[in-house]
Amino acid sequence: MGRGERDVVARGTRLFEAARAVVDDHGRAVEAVRAALKPIQDAAVKRELDAIPVVRLQDVTEGRLRVGSVEKGGLRTVGSVLEAGPYRLRQIPGVGQHTVDQMLAAARRLSEAVYETVGVHLDVDRPEPSTTALVVALHVLVEAGPDARRAVDRAVELSGRVGPLLDDARLVTGRLRMLLAGREKKARALAAVTALQSLVDETERAGLPELLAQASVDLLRGPSSDIAAWVDFELRSAEYYSLLAEISGRRPDVAAVEGFLPDEVAERVRVQPLDDTHRRVSLRGYQAFGARFALAQHRVILGDEMGLGKTIQAIAVLAHLAAEGASHFMIVCPASVLVNWTREIEARSALRVVPLHGPDRQYAFADWKERGGVAVTTFDSLRGFPVWDGGEVGLFVVDEAHSVKNPNAKRSQAVAGWAERCGRTLFMTGTPMENRVVEFRNLVRMLDGAVADSLGEGDAPAGSVAFRKAVAPVYLRRNQEDVLTELPSLQRTDEWEELSASDEEAYREAVRAGNFMAMRRAAYARPEKSAKLERLREIVQEAAVNGQKTVVFSNFRDVLGVVREALAAGTGGSTAVFGPLTGSVAAERRQRIVDDFAAEAGPAVLLAQIQAAGVGLNIQAASVVVICEPQIKPTIEHQAVARAHRMGQVRPVRVHRLLATGGVDERMVRMLEDKTRLFDAYARRSAVAESTPDAVDVSDTELARRIVEEEQARLGVVRKESAGHP
């Protein structure tokens, strides 16, 4: 046969080998995780079994097993029974072979149950050789990301198609074999060559060889150091724990993941495809189910508890619909989270983002209509845009949807108008709306009038099975404790806010004065129009609705005073506010304030100056932490967060750092992050760094001087001669 046929076989062989290499590389990476995980799991299981009294074996055997003789023999726990083994057990007076067999069988059943449920906690502040090995192994797969997973899936599929074609087509590579082959084999070989050429051409046009090659490189590349792996884990712990749960097989209860939906709804969701072509983030199992729920049911409320990644699920839905050909999407949200939405979509997907905000929003709206993409706007701005007719909008997303529960409000009417015209609508809220039936019904009515009518007219808490079944077609809620089998102990979120016009004016005055400290707190100088303060109130309110306590840190006493007044006015006294803890408060008094905060029966807020409360106090009653502005010294932030995130904390801690775009906050974050992240992560694990944080931070004065000069140049302002140095 000719050179052309042999060339096709050679190309097919290279493609097949590349596919098999990716599968093998991924398999080795997964096995490395399993190998690192096993000793940690074994040690955790042993600790659990060593704490279970031997009398529990009677429960397993429904009381048929007598353990008195074993206890007298010194074996008082299930772990000690398994460690003793049959020979030592048989030596105990009064224990026969039948009892030994029963006892060991019962102990093994308990051991298997513990093995299925025991959790693995990766303590970033106390790394050990075993946990470091696991984090390093996980880092390879996390860093390879969704593209590697996509490449492995394509490689498995491709191997199954290319392998059989190569088996038949290889006949053409030998002239003599081809001459001696029968007519049927020749025909099959030529048909295989034709099919193989078509398949290879198809994969090359789709860029699959490059995807496979990059995946192999990523799967073989390890972290630059153990410290780098731990730092990455600290930044992306949710992805590490998600992967760990998947590989270990320790998945949360299926019913909890599916929000305890009725079988007929859950089954429809399970079979819903989810395309990840335009997505740049991996999903946890419950997140994938949430995205499928929105796709399968078309018009829904996603009511997951705060911290479960509702934004990620919405982006997954957008990416899937874009892959199906949808070109225009609309997201409406509070102004305080508009920047976060924009950044998340840019970071987590390949979709175009168009903010519809500010004085040029009408021009941006016209551009979005013409070119498509994901439009992100605020409730107030939405009212100024005409509602499209037909199915032009592939998905209409409403974040913080509980804020449109009043049907008489103009913002609610604007949202209802868009929801009515859009075939697919996704409402998102972390507030458990099902406990406020009247308000909940108002939201549901925007999505499905028939379901709203089925909820009845009462306003009592509705936790009944009948209620859950009635709302199942439109409502999905999961709680952290139900779906996170290995809770990330610390979740950090940078809350980027766009300054209001009033904020900008105050900031410009501080820059003109060359006053670095005034620049840092300018976002709170005019409380009535403060974007940061509005976001802080939202975080505190949502935490309160979920029964959680919040600690608010700031470097500045006057900022804490502004926060106290704003919270007192915003909550109407329903949430207790303690503090502020400042440097002028005696140490004994500080601890009493913390104790009173912890003893408060309901939601509460503790205000604290970050340097005064950052050392020596335990604030583990708080599971939500707000940092009002970035700190010059990263160690101060770390130590303050550690007051809440420490031994004794039973809930994951969520840290919200409030940052303003375009000014001093952005410059501080950028300048400090690149230079100090790895070194600081190493240094703060040492006793020296904990006792002398000044030793590992960059110069305050130098940093302040550079930022002031850069901001004056950016804003084109001339420094006042009378202004003091920062």
3-class DSSP state for residue 427? strand
d(CA 15, CA 208): 9
pTM comes to 0.62
- pLDDT band, very low/low/confident/very high, at 725 (cuts 50, 70, 90): very low
DSSP 474: T
Asked if 252-483 and 490-715 have one fold, the answer is: yes
pLDDT band at 474 (very low <50, low <70, confident <90, very high): very high
With residue 396 as reference, give the H or E element that holds it.
Answer: strand 393-398
Question: How many Cβ atoms are within 10 Å of 378's Cβ, its own excluded?
Answer: 20
Owner of token pair 């940061």: 532
Q: Is pLDDT of 488 > 50? A: no
612 is written with which tokens? 């005064």
Q: Which of 41-45, 128-132, 300-304, 567-571 has the lowest mean pLDDT?
A: 567-571
pLDDT at 682 over 50: no
Q: To the nearest whole number, what is the mean pLDDT of the chain? A: 84
Cα torsion through 219, 223, 226, 230, rounded to 10: -90
Classify 660 as helix, strand or coil: strand
Indicate the range of 30-39, 315-324, 363-372, 567-576 predicted with least confidence. Answer: 567-576
User: What is the average pLDDT across 85-102?
Assistant: 87
Give the pair of three-digit tokens for residue 477.
């809620």
How many helices and strands, by DSSP H and E, does the chain display? 33, 13
Assigned token pair, 647: 């031994």
Greater confidence (590 vs 471) lies with: 471
What's the distance, CA 291 to chain centroid? 14
Q: Write out the DSSP string of 89-142.
A: HHTSTT--HHHHHHHHHHHHHHHHHHHHH------TTS--HHHHHHHHHHHHHH
Higher pLDDT, 166 or 680: 166
pLDDT at 360 over 80: yes
Residues 556/611, Cβ–Cβ less than 8 Å: no
Using a pLDDT cut of 90, give the percent of the chain over it: 44
Digit-coded pLDDT (tens) for 98-134 = 888 888 988 898 888 888 777 787 877 678 999 999 9
Calculate the CA 43 to chain-centre distance. 28
Q: Which residues lie closer than 8 Å to 81 by C-beta, 6 or more apart?
A: 54, 57, 70, 75, 89, 103, 104, 107
CA atoms within 13 A on the CB side of 713: 6
Render pLDDT for 631-681 as a digit per residue (tens, 0 to 9): 887 667 776 776 665 433 446 788 999 999 989 999 888 876 654 443 333
Whole-number Cα distances in Å, 176 to 7, 11, 167, 181, 498: 18, 22, 17, 9, 75
**pLDDT value of position 179:** 62
DSSP notation for 224-279: S-HHHHHHHHHHSHHHHHHHHHHHHT-PPPHHHHTTT--HHHHHHHHT-----TTB
Distance CA(642)–CA(18), nearest Å, equals 47
Reported as a single tens digit per residue, the pLDDT across 213-254 is 999 999 998 777 898 898 888 767 778 887 888 888 766 678
Report angle CA 117, 308, 251 to the nearest 5 degrees.
25
Q: In what order do the strands lie in the sheet with 373-378?
A: 353-356, 373-378, 328-333, 393-398, 425-428, 299-302, 475-476
pLDDT at residue 180 tops 50: yes
pLDDT at 266: 93
What fold is seen in the domain 252-483? Rossmann fold (3.40.50)
pLDDT confidence tier of residue 615, bands split at 50, 70 and 90: very low
Q: Bridge partners of 475?
A: 301
Centroid of chain to Cα 359: 33
**Does position 520 have pLDDT exceeding 70, yes or no?**
yes
pLDDT category of residue 135 using cuts at 50, 70 and 90: very high
Give the CA radius of gyration of the chain. 30
Distance CA 113, CA 117 (A): 7
Could you tell me if 195 and 163 are in contact, meaning their C-beta atoms sit under 8 angstroms apart?
A: no
**How far is residue 22 from each of residues 19, 154, 205, 281, measured CA to CA in Å?**
5, 10, 19, 20
pLDDT at 389 over 50: yes
DSSP secondary structure letters along 667-696: HHHHHHHHHHHHHHHHHTTSHHHHH-GGGG
55-61 — which CB contacts under 8 Å span 24+ positions? 56/110, 57/81, 57/103, 57/106, 57/107, 57/110, 60/106, 60/109, 60/110, 61/102, 61/106
Domain boundaries, the chain: 1-124+140-221, 252-483, 490-715
What confidence score (pLDDT) does residue 100 get? 87
pLDDT higher than 70, residue 204: yes
- Element holding 378 (H helix, E strand): strand 373-378
DSSP string, 489-535: SEEEEEEEEPPPHHHHHHHHHHHHTT-HHHHHHGGGSSGGG-HHHHH
The predicted structure's pLDDT at residue 678? 39
- pLDDT-derived band at 379, boundaries 50, 70, 90: very high
C-alpha neighbours within 13 Å on the C-beta side of residue 48:
18
Bigger pLDDT: 180 vs 373: 373
**Looking at the predicted structure, is the pLDDT value of residue 503 above 70?**
yes
Q: What is the pLDDT of residues 393-424, one digit of tens each?
A: 999 999 989 889 899 999 999 999 999 999 99
Of the two residues 380 and 480, the one the predictor is more confident about is 380
Q: Are 307 and 480 in contact (CB under 8 A)?
A: yes
CA 685 to CA 262: how far, in whole Å? 48
pLDDT of residue 720: 59
| Contact between 608 and 580 (Cβ < 8 Å) | yes
CATH classification of 490-715, choosing from 1.10.10.10, 3.20.20.100, 3.40.50.300, 3.30.465.10?
Answer: 3.40.50.300
pLDDT at res. 619: 66
List CB contacts of 145: < 8 A, sequence separation 6 or more.
Answer: 218, 280, 282
